A and B are shown apart, each in its own frame.
Chain A
Amino acid sequence: MNDSRTFNWSGWLALALLLFLWEYGSRLNPKLQLYIPPISQILVTLGQLISSGQVTAHLLITLRRFVEGYLLAAVLGVSVGVILGYFRFAHSLLEMLIEFLRPMPSVAIIPVAILLLGIGDSMITAVTVYASMWPILVNTIDGVRYIERTLVDTGRTFGLSRPRILWHVILPAASRYIVTGLRVSLSIALILVTTAEMIVGSQGLGFFILDEERSLHSSAMYAGIILVALLGYCLNRLFLLLESRGMKWRRGMIAREAN
């Protein structure tokens, strides 16, 4: 979707125009400044917050919770997913349970988690794991379940034992589905961490943004939002980088499918 062939002059121009309107629209309307402060003011505030270290602590806390929750979700999601995808009986047992839990938005688990785990880090990690696990689990199950029969038979005809077939054939073949699940979970994990921080108020960028809003420090609030967006963007790029490294064999296929 990205025409990265030529530099997008009109796009950046449009952005510059928007920022320009924002800056001067805000400056000329003092009443508006509480709600939409001038972009220059926001950036200055952002700089101050970073250099004073005020917001860095929050950023690191959010990042830590994110990493813990996401990695744990990945490990759990993939292992349980492989088991359920491979053993049809186990899957048939849990299928209905999964069907009933899926439509409930994962954020609704937050109050329960507060009851069980209080309002600290473990609660935030727990809800992040719960929510992030779903896409990984479902995609892994699908990837393992719907493996081509011929592929498995190929492993068998070469005399591979069942465990070796799982490791050498089924998992690599399912990897593109697993990676899709991992990619979707990336955004979900960040959403859950920031949401929990907002609701529970225990440090972190989510809390920071809401807190600044409550004190009517709108510049600081927007600065926090920019920071979160940057965090999300960097995490996404990191993921894409790792993905293209680990899945070299897919790069060409992806490029071809995209055309």
Chain B
Amino acid sequence: MSWIIRDSRLNGFLFLLGLLGVWELVAEAGWVNPLIVPPFSKILSSFFSLIESGQIPWQILASLKRSVVGYLLAAAIFIPLGVLMGLFDAFHRGLEVIIEMLRPIPPPVVVPVAVLFFGLEDEMKIFVICFSCAWPILLNTIDGVRNIDRVLLDTARTFGLSRQRIMWRVIVPACSPQIMTGLRVSLPIMLILVVISEMVGSTDGIGYFILDSQRRFKVAQMYAGMLALAILGYGLNQLFNLLSRLLLPWHNRKVD
């Protein structure tokens, strides 16, 4: 079997196919309870019919709507805050203790608070996502601003640039890679928290859909929902990579 190269993607692809094949056989033969693990083909057909019927796109859209708003809100609040904290040490020290108190709170336990304030509406999820994405965005922004080389700033000053222009022409570009890192780290957090908040308290969204399918024992649907979620996650990653390459073409960073 000389075509099995030691270190190639082909191996992984074939192995995956093999696994799916085994899954299919085992499920069809009834060796696993088909009510718990249906054949993969059934899951796929459920997936495609749900897409056709518009169910999955609808749920994904619902989740996407609220998660993107929460994410952008976090960016809009915490990037400027991070820049201010990075630039002005006094400001940073002032807020430091409060932030360190809030940080250890695991994001999911904020959900009940959000439900208390906002009920089961979109605002609830937006609040949760905004809170959860805050820390990576904030901390990375602060880091990025603080780590700007003094030499860079001095160079700008010797060129006689005004403070405003220094801000936009030097500081923002210089710390944008780090800000991007914060945004990149927050992306999976956004996805996780939208699913959690939908599972705990919602009437729609992909997270709700998966849990609800399970509760109604519509098992193939449940797995189809998970598949959709995985694709969504993958798609968002690729989109982010693309955007970051467009916005920061000079900076070469690859996302896992």
Contacts and interface: CB of A to CB of B under 8 A. Distances in A.
- Chain A in direct contact with chain B (Cβ < 8 angstroms): yes
Interface of A: 1-3, 8, 10-15, 18, 34-35, 88-89, 92-97, 99-112, 114-116, 187, 190-191, 194-195, 198-199, 205-206, 209-210, 212-213, 216, 218, 221-222, 224-225, 228-230, 232-233, 236
Contacts, number: 173
B79 to A, nearest CB: 17
21 contacts: A8-B96, A11-B97, A14-B98, A89-B7, A92-B7, A96-B12, A103-B233, A104-B229, A105-B192, A105-B233, A108-B225, A115-B222, A198-B111, A210-B111, A213-B112, A213-B113, A222-B113, A228-B109, A229-B105, A232-B105, A232-B106
A210 B231 CA distance: 30
B97 A12 contact: yes
Contacts of B196: 107, 195, 198
B214 A1 contact: no
Given A14-B94, A191-B192, 19 more contacts: A8-B96, A14-B98, A35-B117, A92-B6, A96-B15, A102-B233, A104-B230, A105-B192, A108-B210, A111-B211, A190-B106, A191-B106, A191-B108, A194-B106, A194-B108, A194-B109, A206-B108, A213-B116, A225-B110
Interface residues of B, number: 61
Contacts of B211: 110-111, 199
Nearest to B146: A1
Main secondary structure of the interface of B (DSSP, over half): helix
Contacts of A229: 101, 104-106
Contacts of A199: 199-200, 211
B61 interface: no
A198 B36 CA distance: 23
Given A111-B210, A209-B112, A232-B104, A14 B97 contact: yes
B192 to A, nearest CB: 4
Q: Which has the most chain A C-beta neighbours within 10 Å: B95, B97, B233?
A: B97
Nearest to A232: B104
A67 B193 CA distance: 23
A103 B230 contact: yes
Contacts of A106: 192
A130 to B, nearest CB: 13
B55 interface: no
A13 B16 CA distance: 57
Contacts of B241: none
Nearest to B102: A229
Nearest to A13: B94
Given A1-B143, A110-B199, A210-B200, A96 B7 contact: no
A205 B105 CA distance: 13
Contacts of B13: 96
B95 A14 contact: yes
Contacts of A198: 108-109, 111-112, 196, 200
Interface of B: 6-9, 11-13, 15-16, 19, 36, 90, 93-98, 101, 104-113, 115-117, 139, 142-143, 188, 191-192, 195-196, 199-200, 207, 210-211, 213-214, 219, 222-223, 225-226, 229-234, 236-237, 256
Nearest to A189: B106
B191 A105 contact: yes
Contacts of B230: 100-101, 103-104
Contacts of B232: 103
A113 to B, nearest CB: 10
A233 B102 CA distance: 10
Contacts of B213: 111
A205 B36 CA distance: 29
B12 A95 contact: yes
Given A14-B97, A15-B98, A103-B230, A108 B12 contact: no
A236 B100 CA distance: 13
B15 A93 contact: yes
A228 B162 CA distance: 48
A192 to B, nearest CB: 9
A108 B63 CA distance: 14
Please indicate which of the listed interface residues B106, B113, B199 has the most CB atoms of chain A within 10 Å of its own CB.
B106
